[in-house]
Amino acid sequence: MIQVQNLSKQYAGQVLFEKASFLIGSGEKVGLVGRNGTGKTTLIKILRGLENYDGGEIAIPRNYQIGALDQHIHFTKATLLDEVTQVLKDDEEHDTYKAEKILMGLGFTTKDFTRSPAHFSGGFQVRINLAKALLQRPSLLLLDEPTNYLDIVSMSWLKKFLRQYAGEVLLITHDRQFMDEVVTHVMGIHRKVIKKFQGDTGHFYQRILEEEELHEKTRQNLEKKRKELMTFISRFKAKASKASQAQSKAKQLERMGKLDQLRDEANLSFAFNYKECPAKMLMTFQNISFSYDQRPESDLFRNLSFSIAAQDRIGVVGKNGKGKSTLLNVIAGELTARTGTVHSHPSLRVGFFGQTNIQRLNLENTIIQEIATANSEITMQRIRNICGTMMFDGDMAKKKVDVISGGERARVMLGKILACPTNLLLLDEPTNHLDMQSIQSLVTEIDDYPGALMVVTHNEMLLHAFAEKLIVFGENGAEMFLGTYQEFLDKIGWDDDSKEESEKKQGSSHKNQKMQRSEIILERAKILGPLKLEIEELEKKIIEHEEMTKKIEVKLLNAYAENNASLIQEFSPLAGKLKVRVEELYSRLELAHDELLMQETHYRDLLGE
């Protein structure tokens, strides 16, 4: 358990969050959401002790370990297996099967175990860090975008791992479906306030909507009352007979305070520029093959045939490193197929979003200048409109590409696509640098786009939303699947590559200990079960009492606004009692968590876990 009270943080003069209080309870899997730039990664750095904060307290129990996915790449061992197993505790140093199981779940093979970590791609090096974080099994596991460099198969494995994880998890991911299938609670940084609710992201955003509707209703009632008081004061302050009343109303107005109207938050919006095309078929590919060294034995895909019709919706899926991005580069004309033929309609206009395009942005250009290079006929007003839809307002649009973040550069590339009329969009992992709200905007625009679409993505929500057919990259190359993503899962699905020889290595020596272990496990259940039940009940009571407190505070605010003395007298002591009760419940919860942590540590030692 970790408890945070009144946490505040400013960054570069901007308030990220202030007086934030929350609790991550025993066994909770918490999804952390919020728009890009609101401070999600900063909060994780604060919890790791890597970032200072301006005020507040963070209470961490004794012997409570915090582990995290490290984005910094630094390896010290000669082989992959040695690099990962170095995080094992002294009494676990021979339990390499645990590391092997995790590595294979994340997409490595037994042949990879003896390779140098430095020889893997950047994406697989991040997976090595992820494997080390998972193998440590800390009390609280902090994961900042762990799915960015995973394919669908390894994402599926990670999803199962996190669901079964015995400790607590704080997860940042732009993949809403992945988060919803893992978490027990969602916590969000919204308007510089941190709020946490039980349930998935849908429940979280519904609660936020309800709270903002209540805020606006209260604000309007308050404003109406203020105007009535101001009218009374203005009319009667000069009249002797009403002067005392006017003075009383003036004091009431002063005490009443004011609620600010909530500003609409800026949203990334997409409006792809469509070019009419008379063709029913945009592109046809016959028996295309590709390898970077032009050798048949190195082909990433071979004899692949398919067509792209005028309104096709094609998802490209499969493991990383199998050729998905390469295929999009071939379709876009960035690479040439080793064999086969390609036919394109003369009216074809392609918009291509890929990592290579982002890397080729001119760093010396401003954002405005870079978007202008996409279309020589575009007007300055249109460019500024595109900058606005990509959330580059005002002076931000005048910044050089060199000084903006990777996510902002991705938005510049999207802006360049918006600047050009297209009838075929090729999008390679377009959601990697987008927050959940922006992904939803992208899904909506994809649905409305009249042209054809081909997307490489590991985001299953996006695949479910648009894909009508698939190109699937597997162990035997690439094949076309005529059906939706759900139909693919139902008929074929993904192989569970995590069940390999590593599991067999536990062998017969483990069988001899089964009886003894089962007795300890039974005893552990008898001890930990009631403790966990007590913690669950306390957490439910805290949520109930905090919600009651909020409702009473709203009623109290309205009572002050209406100068209703009887309601003030009724609600004020009740609000005080509820706050005291919540503090008592938190104290009991902390004691219960300490006891649970002590018992869990005791039984882990007994079981050698």
pLDDT digits (tens, 9 = 90+) for 277-305: 888 999 999 999 999 999 999 999 999 99
* Helix ranges (DSSP H) in 291-405: 324-331, 355-359, 367-372, 380-389
Q: Across residues 530-556, what is the average pLDDT?
A: 85
Q: Are residues 111 and 11 in the same domain?
A: yes
Quote the domain boundaries for residue 563.
510-607
Q: Are residues 181 and 112 in the same domain?
A: yes
The overall average pLDDT reported for the chain is 86
Q: Are residues 289 and 158 in the same domain?
A: no
- Domain of 20, CATH number, reads 3.40.50.300
Q: Across residues 344-371, what is the average pLDDT?
A: 92
The verdict on residue 415 lying in a domain is no
The verdict on residue 375 lying in a domain is no
pTM of the model: 0.68
Among 237-241, 247-251, 367-371, name the most confident range. Answer: 367-371
When mean pLDDT is compared across 23-37, 316-330, 462-476, 570-584, the lowest value belongs to 570-584
Q: Across residues 357-369, what is the average pLDDT?
A: 91
pLDDT reading at 567 higher than 60 = yes
Q: Are residues 58 and 177 in the same domain?
A: yes
Q: Are residues 39 and 171 in the same domain?
A: yes
The pair of three-digit structure tokens given for residue 303, joined into one six-digit string: 């004899």
**116-129 tens-digit pLDDT:** 999 998 889 999 99
Confidence of residue 145 (pLDDT cuts 50, 70, 90): very high
Residue where a domain stops, chosen among 174, 189, 206: 206
283-320 core/surface letters (b: 16 or more CB in 10 A; e: else)? bebeebbbbeeeeeeebbbbebebebebebbbbbbbbb
Closest of 353, 364, 517, 322 to residue 431, by C-alpha: 353
Q: Across residues 391-399, what is the average pLDDT?
A: 88
Q: Are residues 68 and 181 in the same domain?
A: yes
The verdict on residue 400 lying in a domain is no
Q: Are residues 468 and 559 in the same domain?
A: no
The verdict on residue 268 lying in a domain is no
pLDDT of residue 229: 80
Q: Are residues 471 and 578 in the same domain?
A: no
Q: Are residues 340 and 473 in the same domain?
A: yes
> Looking at the 3D structure of the chain, how many domains does it have?
3
Q: Are residues 65 and 10 in the same domain?
A: yes
What Rg do the C-alpha atoms of the chain give, in angstroms? Answer: 29
pLDDT reading at 394 higher than 90 = no
Q: Phi first, then psi: give them for residue 7, nearest 5 degrees.
A: -75, 130
Confidence of residue 508 (pLDDT cuts 50, 70, 90): very low
Q: Are residues 174 and 319 in the same domain?
A: no
The verdict on residue 500 lying in a domain is no
The verdict on residue 121 lying in a domain is yes
Residue pair 53/8 in contact (Cβ under 8 Å)? The answer is: yes
The verdict on residue 526 lying in a domain is yes
More confident residue, 79 or 568: 79
**33-65 tens-digit pLDDT:** 998 888 999 999 999 999 999 999 999 988 899
Confidence of residue 540 (pLDDT cuts 50, 70, 90): confident
The verdict on residue 118 lying in a domain is yes
Q: Are residues 558 and 484 in the same domain?
A: no
Question: How far out from the chain centre does Cα 305 lie?
Answer: 36
